[in-house]
Amino acid sequence: MDPASPEGGTKEETMKVALVGKSLNTVEALLPAYGLIRDDQSPEVVISVGGDGTLLSAERKYPTIPKLPLRFSETSRKIHDHKAEILFEKLVSGDLVEVPQMKLVAVTGTSRLHALNDVNFHNEMITSAVRYRVEINGQPHSSEIIGDGLIVATPFGSTAYYRSITHSIFQVGIGLAFNNSTEPVDHLVLNENARIQVQVVRGPALVAVDNDPGWIHLGEGDTVEVHKAQESATILTLPDL
What band does 12 get if pLDDT is binned at 50, 70 and 90?
low
Average pLDDT over residues 141-145: 92
Higher pLDDT, 203 or 147: 147
Are 91 and 202 members of one domain?
A: no
Boundary of a domain, candidates 62, 95, 128: 95
Asked whether the predicted pLDDT for residue 130 surpasses 90, the reply is: yes
Asked whether the predicted pLDDT for residue 215 surpasses 80, the reply is: yes
CA distance 140 to 61: 36
Are 36 and 118 members of one domain?
A: no
Are 82 and 145 members of one domain?
A: no
Average pLDDT over residues 159-174: 95
Are 31 and 138 members of one domain?
A: no
In a domain, 210, yes or no: yes
Question: In CATH, what number is assigned to the domain containing residue 186?
Answer: 2.60.200.30
In a domain, 241, yes or no: no
Average pLDDT over residues 209-222: 95
Are 79 and 132 members of one domain?
A: no
Asked whether the predicted pLDDT for residue 8 surpasses 60, the reply is: no
Quick one: how far is CA 121 from the chain centroid? Answer: 16
Residues with Cβ within 8 Å of 168's Cβ and at least 6 positions away in sequence, in order, are: 158, 162, 187
Domain extent, residue 118, equals: 102-230
Q: Is 175 helix (H, G, I), strand (E, B) or coil?
A: strand
What band does 26 get if pLDDT is binned at 50, 70 and 90?
confident
Are 26 and 86 members of one domain?
A: yes
What pLDDT, on the 0 to 100 scale, is given for residue 93?
A: 92
Asked whether the predicted pLDDT for residue 11 surpasses 80, the reply is: no
The beta strand positions in 6-143, using DSSP E, are 15-21, 36-38, 45-50, 67-71, 97-108, 111-115, 118-123, 130-136, 139-140
Q: Are the C-beta atoms of 46 and 20 separated by less than 8 Å?
A: yes
Are 137 and 76 members of one domain?
A: no
Q: What is the DSSP letter of 12?
A: P
Are 119 and 225 members of one domain?
A: yes
Average pLDDT over residues 141-164: 95
Question: In CATH, what number is assigned to the domain containing residue 29?
Answer: 3.40.50.10330
Are 121 and 179 members of one domain?
A: yes
In a domain, 238, yes or no: no
Boundary of a domain, candidates 67, 95, 123: 95
pLDDT digits (tens, 9 = 90+) for 62-119: 999 999 998 865 544 444 445 888 899 999 999 999 999 999 999 998 899 999 999 9
